[in-house]
């Protein structure tokens, strides 16, 4: 067993204590400059069926980052610039049973370097930023969605499954579960105005942060956000995305929907199907479901709880079966602009070579935003 020094929950909260005041500045003539960011430290404990390892890491669920937004009127339109980057802290995606491989800060940490022009006709964006399908698999109105959502391998993607003989012969967890959500690329993107809750997006781009990636990326998406009566809210999305490469093409169809009732009860679902033309590649698919509830039980802020299940087939290799279930709670600390969260998830994988031992992962974290 490998165990790192574990701080208390109070220590995590201390890390989230605000140190910055009002970070929006009026530059005159309607122009504004806003600084923002977040820290997301988490204690992550992974058990592969024989050994367990516990570390304090930056949670890749929503990594620590800083950014700025500049906005100014441009005729009847609004011109905007956004710069955002991760901090390059030791990350939950860089640890496995073999140890750690921290990359520190690299250009892959650059999330946005993005210019846009917005008006009554919609918005055009150019630069490094979200493709049209980014977020389409993750429509989630539940408060517990801060820590428990359709992508299930943020905390342990590099850990290997262990077989029945205690050998690390299985695939990495990150190869056996995914939600096919859209990505960030160097792209040109168009977003339509809102039409009775519906909006449309389309984008084309390349992975400008990876010189070895010569693929071209295209996607289109439609989103729906509205109140649906009785105080209920609904958010949904559907996207088609395509990767055209020198060796093979790949396409995804992805959708998700979430409903939050006035009572605090919520339901979230997602599905995805991938068609990969690469020789020997599998064509995986999945479905996802979550039930959640939220209420103001404590004076410090809202509490959200949830239970979810993810089921996939043909991930990693044809004929494989992957299952993930998890439970979580998120507690708002409104005074500190912080969410404290605790999750437990269990991962099961099998393929033609046999069944592998389950992996279980516990995460205790604090997400502070400014």
**What is the CATH classification number for the domain harbouring 128?**
2.40.160.10
Please list, in sequence order, all residues whose beta carbon lies within 8 angstroms of the beta carbon of residue 284, skipping any fewer than 6 positions away.
Answer: 178, 274, 312, 313, 314, 315
Residue-by-residue pLDDT tens, the chain, 370 positions: 444 433 443 443 444 344 444 699 999 999 999 999 999 999 999 999 999 999 999 999 999 999 999 999 999 999 999 999 999 999 999 999 999 999 999 999 999 999 999 999 999 999 999 999 999 999 999 999 999 999 999 999 999 999 999 999 999 999 999 999 999 999 999 999 999 999 999 999 999 999 899 999 999 999 999 998 889 999 999 999 999 987 789 999 999 999 999 999 999 999 999 999 987 889 999 999 999 999 999 999 999 999 999 999 999 999 999 999 999 999 999 999 999 999 999 999 999 998 999 999 999 999 999 9
Whether the CB-CB separation of 329 and 302 falls below 8 Å is answered with: no
CA 88, distance to chain mean position in Å, is 17
pLDDT at 245: 87
Which value, to the nearest 10 degrees, does the dihedral of the CA atoms of residues 283, 284, 285, 289 take? -170
Residues in the chain, overall count: 370
pLDDT at 157: 98
Count: domains in the chain: 1
Rounded distance between C-alpha atoms, residue 334 and residue 301, angstroms: 5
Residue 243 belongs to what domain range?
2-369
Which of helix, strand or coil describes residue 341?
strand
Which of helix, strand or coil describes residue 191?
strand
Please list, in sequence order, all residues whose beta carbon lies within 8 angstroms of the beta carbon of residue 359, skipping any fewer than 6 positions away.
Answer: 46, 47, 48, 49, 156, 159, 161, 173, 346, 347
Give the pair of three-digit tokens for residue 288. Answer: 């996802």
Please list, in sequence order, all residues whose beta carbon lies within 8 angstroms of the beta carbon of residue 225, skipping any fewer than 6 positions away.
Answer: 197, 199, 233, 234, 235, 236
Whether the CB-CB separation of 144 and 345 falls below 8 Å is answered with: no
Q: DSSP character for 25? A: E
Per-residue buried b or exposed e for 341-355, using 16+ beta carbons within 10 Å of the residue's own CB: bbbebebbbbbeeee
Which value, to the nearest 10 degrees, does the dihedral of the CA atoms of residues 279, 272, 200, 370 take? -110
pLDDT at 268: 98
Whether the CB-CB separation of 343 and 363 falls below 8 Å is answered with: yes
> Among 69, 24, 19, which Cα is nearest to 39's?
19
Backbone angles phi, psi at 61, to 5 degrees: -50, -40
The reported pTM is 0.91
pLDDT at 311: 98
Rounded distance between C-alpha atoms, residue 111 and residue 207, angstroms: 12
Which of helix, strand or coil describes residue 336?
helix
> Among 270, 128, 261, which Cα is nearest to 206's?
128
| CA-based max dimension of the chain | 69
14's torsion region: left (phi>0), alpha (psi -120 to 50) or beta? alpha
Question: How many Cα atoms within 13 Å fall on the side-chain side of residue 92?
Answer: 30
Whether the CB-CB separation of 338 and 41 falls below 8 Å is answered with: no
Rounded distance between C-alpha atoms, residue 142 and residue 60, angstroms: 20
């Amino acid at each position: 067993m490998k165990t790192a020094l574990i701080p208390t929950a109070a220590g995590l909260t201390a890390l989230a204590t605000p140190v910055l005041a009002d970070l929006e500045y009026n530059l005159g003539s309607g122009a504004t400059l806003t600084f923002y960011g977040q820290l997301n430290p988490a204690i992550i404990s992974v058990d592969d069926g024989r050994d367990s390892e516990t570390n304090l890491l930056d949670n890749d669920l929503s990594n620590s980052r800083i950014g700025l937004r500049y906005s100014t009127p441009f005729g009847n339109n609004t011109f905007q610039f956004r710069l955002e980057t991760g901090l390059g802290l030791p990350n939950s995606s860089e640890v496995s049973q073999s140890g750690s491989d921290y990359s520190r800060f690299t250009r892959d940490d650059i999330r946005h370097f993005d210019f846009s022009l917005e008006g009554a006709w919609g918005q055009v964006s150019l630069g490094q930023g979200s493709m049209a399908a980014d977020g389409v698999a993750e429509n989630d109105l539940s408060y517990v969605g801060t820590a428990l959502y359709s992508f299930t391998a943020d905390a342990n993607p590099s850990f290997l499954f262990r077989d029945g003989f205690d050998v690390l012969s299985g695939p990495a967890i990150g190869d056996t579960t995914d939600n096919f959500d859209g990505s960030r690329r160097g792209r040109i993107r168009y977003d339509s105005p809102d039409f009775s809750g519906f909006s449309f997006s389309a984008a084309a781009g390349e992975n400008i942060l990876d010189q070895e990636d010569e693929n071209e990326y295209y996607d289109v998406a439609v989103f729906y956000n509205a109140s649906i009566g009785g105080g209920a809210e609904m958010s949904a999305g559907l996207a088609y995305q395509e990767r055209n490469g020198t060796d093979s093409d790949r396409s995804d169809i992805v959708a998700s929907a979430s409903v939050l009732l006035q009572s605090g009860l919520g339901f979230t679902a997602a599905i995805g199907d991938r068609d990969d033309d690469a020789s020997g590649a599998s064509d995986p698919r999945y479905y996802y479901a979550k039930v959640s509830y939220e209420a103001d039980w404590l004076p410090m802020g809202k509490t959200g709880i949830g239970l979810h299940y993810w089921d996939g087939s043909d991930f990693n290799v044809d004929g494989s079966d992957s299952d993930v279930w998890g439970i979580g709670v998120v507690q708002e600390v409104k005074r500190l602009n912080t969410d404290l969260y605790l999750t437990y998830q269990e991962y099961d994988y099998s393929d033609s070579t046999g069944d592998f031992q389950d992996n279980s992962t516990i995460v205790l974290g604090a997400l502070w935003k400014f």
